[in-house]
Structure formats: C-alpha cells, structure tokens
Amino acid sequence: MATAYEDDLRRKFLSAYDRGAGTLEELAEDFGVSLGWAKKISAQRKRSGQAERVPYQPGRKWRAGAEAQRQVLSWFAAQPDLTLAEIQSKLASEAQVQLSRGRVWYLLRKLGLRLKKVAPRHPARHRSQPKAPRGVPGNNPRYSAGTPDLSG
C-alpha cells in the first residue's frame, strides 16, 4: 500500500506555489508528484488553512459540538433527573441542535452521564414470605401497629 507524502514536502511545494515559482502542473513535474496530489493539497489548504495533513477522523460527525456538550453537562449539574425528551427540547430551543432521542441518549453515554432515576421501592421481603394482598392494611407491616385486634 502506498504511503503518504511527508508534511515537509507539502510545505515546500505550497511555499514554492505561493512564491510564484510556477503553476501547479509545472511544480508537480518539478517535485515529482502527481497533478491530482498537487490540486488536492492546494484545495485542502484553502479549506483548513494549514499546509500539514489534516488528521482523518472516520465515522459520523457530531452535530452537538463542544458548546452544546458543555450545556448538557451544566443542565445535568443543575437538574440530574432530566429525561431524554426534556434534554432533546432544551437542545433544540437553547443550543439550536436537532437530535433524535436515540442520538441524545448516545450523547449522554459519550459524556458519561446516566439516565437511571431512583424510583421509590417496595420494602424487601424474603422469598419464603407470602406476598401481601393489596388493599388489606392488616397485612402490611407499616400499618399493623395501628390496626385493632379482631380475634375475639
């Protein structure tokens, strides 16, 4: 597989082009590179503003930039029990970032935030204990102290 040209060749080529030493075609022949490569690095410099190679970052690009991510972190610091829908609407209204709920969830995972909420729990019971029927206060240990004894 072919290897990339070094950054010093790129800088020398582009500085010669900036000095007006020739056209891209002439310089490509002088430097022993292809015309396609010369056009490519010239266009890359116009886009990025730098002569060095721009690092390749594969994959989907984030719509929620660094500023939006900082906002989400501050929202969670102020109110840690936000839901996905609330975060989604806040992102749309305050940060002008449109994300699906799945993408919001993925963003929270990337930021290391958890959506798990602490819900009220039933008191623990042992497996051998029968389940208390609902609606009967006498079987519930929380109410048993105040119930009258009806055994006769």
Q: Where are the domains of the chain?
A: 7-48, 66-111
SS (H, E, C) 57-124: CCCCCCCCCHHHHHHHHHHHHHCCCCCHHHHHHHHHHHCCCCCCHHHHHHHHHHHCCCCCCCCCCCCC
Q: What whole-number percentage of the chain has pLDDT above 70?
A: 74
pLDDT higher than threshold 80 for residue 121:
no
The confidence score (pLDDT) of residue 136 equals 55
The confidence score (pLDDT) of residue 131 equals 67
The mean pLDDT of the chain is: 81
The confidence score (pLDDT) of residue 115 equals 76
The confidence score (pLDDT) of residue 120 equals 61
The confidence score (pLDDT) of residue 135 equals 59
- The Cα–Cα gap between 122 and 87 comes to 29
**pTM of this prediction?**
0.43
pLDDT higher than threshold 70 for residue 2:
no
Per-residue pLDDT reduced to its tens digit, 64-89? 888 889 999 999 888 888 888 999 99
The confidence score (pLDDT) of residue 5 equals 78
* Whole-angstrom Cα Rg for the chain: 33
Q: What whole-number percentage of the chain has pLDDT above 90?
A: 28
pLDDT higher than threshold 80 for residue 107:
yes
DSSP-assigned letter for residue 144: G
pLDDT higher than threshold 80 for residue 139:
no
- The CB density around residue 125, as the number of other CB atoms within 10 Å, is 11
